[in-house]
Structure 1
Amino acid sequence: MTSTPPPAPGLTRFNTSPDGAALAALRQVCASPAWGEALLARRPYATEDELLAAGDTVTARLTDAELTAALAGHPPIGRPEEGDPASAREQRGMAGAPAPLKAEMTELNLAYQERFGHVFLICATGATAEELRDALRTRLGHTPEREREIARAELGRINRLRLTRLMAGEPAPASVSTHVLDTSTGRPATGVAVTLAARADAGWTVLGGSVTDPDGRCKDLPVPDPGTTEVRLTFATGPYLDRGERAGAERDAPAPRESGAPFFPEVTVTFTVAPGEHHHVPLLLNPFGYSVYRGS
């Protein structure tokens, strides 16, 4: 007689969690309230495969309005929101993309939303920036009906991956953003390249980077792998401080140095991160000093 193996610990926790806690976990997987409530109503699940199959079934049966709610929970490719480590982690392929490709993705995303009325959704895990761009170009040529069904299928793939991580009990990854303010002018520092690295057993690993936008913000930094406890931000301040007239600077703002060489060619900040938390670490910069702090 063959005995049925006991459920995995993650599935047991999900099956026995209070309704409110279980529903909150499901909302991190899919933004559609109807999707989460339908899965919650089917508890308990004997196996992880049973849960995944139920997720597929519910996704396939979402009404048009429910599908719209689910799609609305996903940010555009290349523009994950602060405090959304799941999307940023899935879109990691965009983190190191060159500026022209990122700009093209922004234009394509806008064209897609104008044509179809919802965000371009794709299971981006493991895809490169070029692959994501090419997929977006292709799907712009679809009919709205065809594209709606593709978006539903992609939603199902994303939901499966997120449910699998939930059942595996993976710690939620931390997320990081920054904001650079030029305190000598009282304005955002635009165009500062920022690189994010994570400490591993073998040392520091560069995960990717970004460039501060017109508000001085980096919202699309890569997400460290779950379990990462220390990260490092490196700000390429030299090119910014070395500009003859920094963007937005007053004509009488202090020059970096008489020699023309910036006093701070680079600023490096190392800090600890906690799983599942968002860490906003702004840099206050001037030609002869800087400070950092944990923001919100």
Structure 2
Amino acid sequence: MTPTSTPGLARFNALEEHAAFTALHEACASTAWVERLLAARPCATAEELYAASDAAMAELTAEDLAEAMAGHPPIGRPKPGDPTSAREQRGMTDASDALKAEMLELNLAYQEKFGHVFLICATGRTAEQMRDAVRERIGNTPEREREIVRTELGKINRIRLARLVEEDRRGHLTMSSTTASVSTHILDTSVGRPAEAVAVRLSARSGRAADWQALGGSATDADGRCKDLPALPEGTTHVRLDFAVEPYFEKKQAADAQQDAPANRDSGAVFFPEVAVTFAVKPGEHYHVPLLLNPFGYSVYRGS
């Protein structure tokens, strides 16, 4: 078997649509990029997949690039519980406190000028190399910098796709049809809008008698969605989502009180401070579990 045609690639080609979308979206947050790669399946070789990625990246609009960049944390501040960004930014791990502080200052200056996070393919780069890169690029025009970002995103996507389709030591795909995947979003039905900044924790177990394993968490974005929940371990049979809704409603009540909103004034303590949802999963399937929420009740269902 050639290096460009692997069992991992075959498993990726065979992934159910939802699972493939989730796997690709974890590699790149641009919906347009994901949709173009889904349309390119099945790919005969890994190089064909990488070429499809490069072609999709070349066609992304400024808005698409902004969406892709939004999925990347600042250099020196990888997302908590995200092994991918931590691994890619490993060069910053042993940096001195002075260098980390300088990098933070440069990041802020860059973001103030260009309106987005400084993005670079950090894999294999030292902290000093990344600092020197932001120093150099901060003098670019916005147009020049946008094309550099496009190139860097292309490099990152190739690396992430390579990990996606390669086999691990046990001969399984890292994100594959042997595992389930989970996503969620929250709608505040009392106002008919998404619930933003609600902390969500994900836990899993293998069998009813097994202990729960905390996998990490995330928080809902402006659309009420959690787009970066951790991957499920192989063998997962049950999943639990814990929604910390009390801080969300307390903040909402405080805002209503400031605006003297009669419908919500003096609404009192939150009736359900936390919501825990447990459900069974099967390998290879994607489970989208929305939460419909109001101050005195909630409901969940398996969405699509």
Question: TM-score range, shorter-chain basis?
Answer: 0.5 to 0.7
For residues 57-72 of structure 1, the aligned pairs below 5 Å read: 67-69=54-56
Amino acid at match of 1:219: K
Which residue, 206, 227, 231 being the options, matches 1:219?
Answer: 227
State TM-score, norm by structure 1: 0.54
State TM-score, norm by structure 2: 0.53
Residue in structure 1 matched with residue 246 of structure 2 by the alignment: 238
Q: Does 1:294 align with 2:302?
A: yes
Amino acid at match of 2:189: T
Which residue, 245, 262, 269 being the options, matches 1:251?
Answer: 262
Amino acid at match of 1:174: A
Counterpart Cα distance in 2 of 1:89 and 1:268: 22
Counterpart Cα distance in 2 of 1:68 and 1:114: 23
C-alpha distance 233-284 of structure 1, shift in aligned 2 (>3 A): same
Q: Tell me the secondary structure at the aligned position of residue 272 of structure 2.
A: coil
Q: Tell me the secondary structure at the aligned position of residue 239 of structure 1.
A: helix
Counterpart Cα distance in 1 of 2:225 and 2:251: 19
Residue identity (%): 37
Residue in structure 1 matched with residue 160 of structure 2 by the alignment: 158
Counterpart Cα distance in 1 of 2:160 and 2:204: 25
Q: Tell me the secondary structure at the aligned position of residue 279 of structure 1.
A: strand
For residues 82-231 of structure 1, the aligned pairs below 5 Å read: 91=84, 93=86, 111=114, 122=121, 138=133, 141=136, 154-165=156-167, 168-170=171-173, 171-172=176-177, 173-200=179-206, 203-231=211-239
Counterpart Cα distance in 1 of 2:262 and 2:85: 40
Amino acid at match of 1:236: A
Residue in structure 1 matched with residue 273 of structure 2 by the alignment: 265
**How many residues were matched structurally?**
236
**How large is the RMSD of aligned CA atoms in angstroms?**
5.4
Q: Report how far residue 270 of structure 1 moved.
A: 0.8
- Whichever of the two has the greater Rg, that structure is 1
Q: Report how far residue 13 of structure 1 moved.
A: 9.9
Amino acid at match of 1:198: A
Residues 122 and 155, structure 1, Cα contact 8 Å, conserved in 2 = no
Q: Report how far residue 232 of structure 1 moved.
A: 1.0
C-alpha distance 206-141 of structure 1, shift in aligned 2 (>3 A): farther
Q: Report how far residue 268 of structure 1 moved.
A: 0.3
C-alpha distance 153-177 of structure 1, shift in aligned 2 (>3 A): closer
Q: Report how far residue 153 of structure 1 moved.
A: 5.3
Counterpart Cα distance in 1 of 2:228 and 2:218: 7
- Structure 2: gaps (5+ residues): 28-32, 73-80, 88-103
C-alpha distance 194-158 of structure 1, shift in aligned 2 (>3 A): closer
Larger CA deviation: 225-234 vs 145-154? 145-154
Q: What are the Cα deviations for residues 24-57 of structure 1, in whole angstroms up to 9, with x where unaligned?
A: 99x9799888xx89x73xxxxxxxxxx87xx49x
Residues 53 and 154, structure 2, Cα contact 8 Å, conserved in 1 = no
Residues 67 and 152, structure 1, Cα contact 8 Å, conserved in 2 = yes
Q: Tell me the secondary structure at the aligned position of residue 269 of structure 1.
A: strand
Q: Tell me the secondary structure at the aligned position of residue 164 of structure 2.
A: helix
Q: Report how far residue 285 of structure 1 moved.
A: 1.7
C-alpha distance 146-184 of structure 1, shift in aligned 2 (>3 A): closer
C-alpha distance 140-150 of structure 1, shift in aligned 2 (>3 A): farther
- Structure 1: gaps (5+ residues): 1-5, 41-50, 81-87, 95-100, 125-130
Amino acid at match of 2:200: V
Residues 233 and 270, structure 1, Cα contact 8 Å, conserved in 2 = yes
Q: Report how far residue 263 of structure 1 moved.
A: 1.6
